[in-house]
Amino acid sequence: MNFIKSNHYDINFVKENMMGPNSMKTIEELSESLYLERGMRVLDLGCGKGLTSIFLAKEYGVTVFATDLWISATDNYNRFKGIGLEDKIIPIHAEAHNLPFAHEFFDVAVSIDAYHYFGAKEGYLSEHLAPLIKKGGQIAVSIPGIKHEFTNGIPTELLPYCSYDMNFHSCNWWRDLWEKSDLVSVQECKEMRCFKEAWQDWLSYDKDSKEDDIKMLEGKNADYFNLVSIKAIRL
């Protein structure tokens, strides 16, 4: 894939702030399916250190509410201020089941490499996320996933690295879950093209701390995995 936009960012800044597969590349691909225009309000849920929020604010001129649990609002504010984006990105510290926003406040919600931590249960979308999006607004999520459900149990070669509570699921599984919500209409659910490159960027940096991820995706093991994207419209 040709990452025309994300390749412009300082690679050292990106590496320092990555928390998983390169989210700048993921958001570049995900945003191809979104309608984004200057001034829109975007919720970036589970934004981590805010790489995707930075990308959206810079590339599209949207106002981003960069919301995360593990990373403090002050940490993110200092990062956004450091690159002059403090007026375009609002850092929020919040848990995904207790989001401090008005209903129908956002034009768009995105979530990259985070939704599987809190959104894999039926009801999450309808109760917590969809109500915050304006009717006709867009919700787009990218999640590490698997090509097919492990219906006969987790394959032996993956047992040391994978467990069911990691919520790795297939496109069809996520589509079925989202289609249970009557607040959204699922527009697309697919495997992302950036899978290989986004993971490679993550695994090639600070390798010593990533032994398990490297083994999980080594050789033929990589064939089990993908990155799933889902896009829906708020009804």
Ligand X SMILES: C[S@@+](CC[C@H](N)C(=O)[O-])C[C@H]1O[C@@H](n2cnc3c(N)ncnc32)[C@H](O)[C@@H]1O
Footprint on this chain of ligand X (rule: CB under 6 A): 18-20, 23, 46-48, 51-52, 68-71, 95-96, 112-114, 117-118
Please report how many Cα atoms fall inside a 13 Å half-sphere around the Cα of residue 89, on the Cβ side.
34
> What is the rounded CA–CA span in Å between residue 165 and residue 168?
8
The least distance separating ligand X from the CB of residue 46, rounded to whole angstroms, comes to 3
The least distance separating ligand X from the CB of residue 155, rounded to whole angstroms, comes to 23
> What is the rounded CA–CA span in Å between residue 130 and residue 140?
11
Whose Cβ is closer to ligand X: residue 51's or residue 171's? 51
Nearest C-alpha neighbor of 138 from the set 15, 23, 40, 1: 40
- Cα dihedral across residues 138, 230, 112, 10: positive or negative: negative
Coil/strand/helix, residue 109: strand
The least distance separating ligand X from the CB of residue 136, rounded to whole angstroms, comes to 25
Whose Cβ is closer to ligand X: residue 1's or residue 19's? 19
Whose Cβ is closer to ligand X: residue 148's or residue 206's? 206
Chain residue at closest Cβ approach to ligand X: 48
Q: Could you say which DSSP state residue 37 is in?
A: -
Helix axes 51-60, 23-31, angle to 10 degrees: 40
> What is the rounded CA–CA span in Å between residue 42 and residue 137?
10
The least distance separating ligand X from the CB of residue 153, rounded to whole angstroms, comes to 25
| Chain centroid, CA 4 distance in Å | 19
The least distance separating ligand X from the CB of residue 195, rounded to whole angstroms, comes to 14
> What is the rounded CA–CA span in Å between residue 107 and residue 42?
6
Whose Cβ is closer to ligand X: residue 48's or residue 137's? 48
The least distance separating ligand X from the CB of residue 200, rounded to whole angstroms, comes to 15
What value does the CA radius of gyration of the chain take, rounded to a whole number of Å?
A: 17
Whose Cβ is closer to ligand X: residue 18's or residue 43's? 18
Whose Cβ is closer to ligand X: residue 117's or residue 161's? 117
